[in-house]
Structure 1
Amino acid sequence: MTRLLMVTTGGTIASGHSGGGGLAPEKNGAEMLPKLEDVSFDVLDLYAIDSTDMSPAHWKLLYDAVTEKLPEYDGIVILHGTDTMAYTGAVLAFTVSTDKPVILTGSMLPFGVPESDAPGNIQFAALITKYRKYPGVHLAFANRVIGGADIHKINSSEKDAFRRYSGFKVSRTLPFPEKPEAFPAVVKLSPFMSGDDLRRSADGHKSVIIETYGAGGLPAGEITDTVGELAKKARVTITTPCIGGTEPDRYEAGRRALAAGAFSGGMMSTECAAVYEWIVGNSGRHI
């Protein structure tokens, strides 16, 4: 008999309209358990939040629950909201070292509504966990399996909402920050941004993630000069919203970024790079 733990954290998958307003988490895990032969489930209702409210404090609770409970089970299924799935997947992928499956899933429609994708996603995640084909942290969603640090949400309404970002995999794990006091600034570049805008966004941060254009380029002049200033006192990482990651050597605009002192996020998405910088910024250790 395979023993699995289902951890609930809220999200659309557990939501309903009971308050008379918009959707809000209300269901517990026992209401959403799948039926699988030769599998016994326990449920841990950890918290019930909209995933837009996800924070480092919530990650600590989830990390503690996973690392404490994992020795007792053959695997863990985590129900989570889709909006911050990429952040939570990266947090767990960078910090949980295991050969057992830790499988995240969620849904675009709440459990129990007509044509909901929730039961199918839960069943899929549980099967993936039962057969242990994907050890470590992964997302199981719409019949896709994606590495925890490689999650990329591409759609806010379609059920097939996630893709692999680049194929990025974590080579080794790092300690979870015990006192996470250093937080990265995450800044999205736009044609309207000035050097002063960038300085204000980065002020007081030891790590700055700049989501740039395309393969990872910076505009010439004021922005590049400001990145050079910031790179003297903070770690500046450039990322891109485009699937595939940054290749700053391809264009002169990208080479400008490197010459100014920025690091390339490479195959890491913006969410993954931000989580990585948050972890190393509080531990002093890099992969």
Structure 2
Amino acid sequence: MSKRIFIIYTGGTIGMVRSPQGYVAVSGLQKLIDEKIPPRLSMDMPDYDLFEYPDPIDSSNIRPPEWARIAKDISDRYDDYDGFVVLHGTDTMAYTASALSFLLRDLTKPVIVTGSQIPLSELRNDAQTNLVTAIELASSYNIPEVCLYFNGVLLRGNRSSKLLATGFEAFASPNYPHLADVGIYIELNQHALLPVPDKIHFELPDYNFAQVRVLSLYPGIEAEVIEAMTQTPCRALILRTYGVGNGPSLDKPFLKALEQAHRRGVVLTSLTQCTSGSVNLGSYAAGSELAKTGLLGGGDMTVEAAFAKLHHLCALGLSSDEIRRAISKPRAGEITTKKSI
């Protein structure tokens, strides 16, 4: 029996066209695919159904409620298809891929998120190859997780980040190996893949997009910034610290602001500002002082993964203490633990 793939087109560069204001997202992707992919090639592709959102958008306008919408659309059709492809803009693609990994836990089928740096409407583009390869990965390989495919590499969705604004090699996975490398052959890294679960464990709560905030430290940051960022309705703050988790440990008002936020129930999580590496708050005194305020280490999670994970934990209705206990425990392979090394 032939495989069937469900494709969701949310918008993004892959389906954009030129306008006087620059590239804009438009509907009508199926017509464009028919024009760009010759019949002799499309005959070799698996059967697919393309679901175009009636309001395709630039991914810079994506908000957490849209993550839940995509996950529900996949969940509602999960038994009807062999794999899923989500076409998405690159700017927030890693955020969406991360969020889907928590919403659609314990997958038994591939969910491949992809897009392009140049629209399919252009003569020279990366859209066609990314689209065709994502469909092939979703239909022909046993990949039981949410992935991000781009320019020859398959990455775990919640380990990916966009590192290049304009290059084709836009995405990387700084703290985790590729799940597959795509060249003449598609070579899966079986040891890096999540195991196939016994059954799915989808969690589809409603998302509130105002509860998690992100702040990068900078020299001379004032305590008032922390105070402003942690006011209601904030339930969690990701603090992007220096190196392995260091910060202004001699700034008493700054430390007091963190401690007060912790006491109000705000979950404080530290991630490194570096592209790769992990937080270890006990490595330096400058990190240990921050830890005394209630700041927790986020390990080697990406900002995108931690942001999506905290949204998810908040949406599940967990208490602050429950979220604090859960933040460093892997839910979908998003963080390295001693057991996973």
- Please give the alpha-carbon distance, in whole angstroms, between the structure 2 residues aligned to 1:105 and 1:36: 22
Change beyond 3 A, Cα 1:38–1:156 = closer
Matched-pair contact (CA < 8 Å) for 2:120–2:126:
yes
Residue 179 (structure 1) shift: 5.6
Aligned partner letter, 2:76: E
Please list every run of at least 4 consecutive aligned residues from structure 1 whose deviation after the TM superposition is greater than 4 angstroms.
Answer: 168-174
Aligned partner letter, 2:273: P
Residue 178 (structure 1) shift: 2.5
Aligned partner letter, 2:129: G
Which of 255, 270, 281 does residue 224 from structure 1 map onto? 255
Residue 247 (structure 1) shift: 2.6
Given the alignment of the two structures, is residue 239 of structure 1 paired with residue 271 of structure 2, yes or no?
yes
Change beyond 3 A, Cα 1:181–1:5 = closer
Given the alignment of the two structures, is residue 176 of structure 1 paired with residue 185 of structure 2, yes or no?
no
Matched-pair contact (CA < 8 Å) for 1:6–1:29:
no
* Number of the residue aligned with 1:249: 282
Matched-pair contact (CA < 8 Å) for 2:144–2:194:
no
Given the alignment of the two structures, is residue 41 of structure 1 paired with residue 74 of structure 2, yes or no?
no
Q: Report the secondary structure of 2:246's partner residue.
A: coil
- Calculate the TM-score normalised by the size of structure 2: 0.78
Given the alignment of the two structures, is residue 269 of structure 1 paired with residue 276 of structure 2, yes or no?
no
Q: Report the secondary structure of 2:282's partner residue.
A: helix
Given the alignment of the two structures, is residue 190 of structure 1 paired with residue 218 of structure 2, yes or no?
yes
Given the alignment of the two structures, is residue 22 of structure 1 paired with residue 29 of structure 2, yes or no?
no
* Number of the residue aligned with 2:240: 211
Aligned partner letter, 2:300: M
Q: Report the secondary structure of 1:60's partner residue.
A: helix
* Number of the residue aligned with 1:70: 78
5+ long unaligned stretches in structure 2:
178-192, 332-341
Aligned partner letter, 2:243: G
- Please give the alpha-carbon distance, in whole angstroms, between the structure 1 residues aligned to 2:304 and 2:290: 20
Residue 181 (structure 1) shift: 6.9
Residue 102 (structure 1) shift: 0.4
Residue 183 (structure 1) shift: 1.2
Residue 256 (structure 1) shift: 2.1
Aligned residue pairs, count = 286
Matched-pair contact (CA < 8 Å) for 2:64–2:209:
no
Greater mean alpha carbon deviation, residues 267-276 or residues 172-181: 172-181
- Please give the alpha-carbon distance, in whole angstroms, between the structure 2 residues aligned to 1:29 and 1:101: 22
Given the alignment of the two structures, is residue 52 of structure 1 paired with residue 60 of structure 2, yes or no?
yes
Aligned partner letter, 1:4: I
Given the alignment of the two structures, is residue 2 of structure 1 paired with residue 3 of structure 2, yes or no?
yes
Residue 174 (structure 1) shift: 6.5
Deviation track 1:144-189 (CA, whole Å, cap 9, x = no partner) reads: 1111111111010001001114239999966232363761121121
5+ long unaligned stretches in structure 1:
none
Given the alignment of the two structures, is residue 125 of structure 1 paired with residue 157 of structure 2, yes or no?
no
- Please give the alpha-carbon distance, in whole angstroms, between the structure 2 residues aligned to 1:249 and 1:124: 44
Which of 146, 149, 156 does residue 147 from structure 1 map onto? 156
Q: After the TM superposition, which residues 101-120 of structure 1 pair with which residues of structure 2 at under 5 Å, given as runs?
A: 101-120=110-129
Greater mean alpha carbon deviation, residues 76-85 or residues 33-42: 33-42
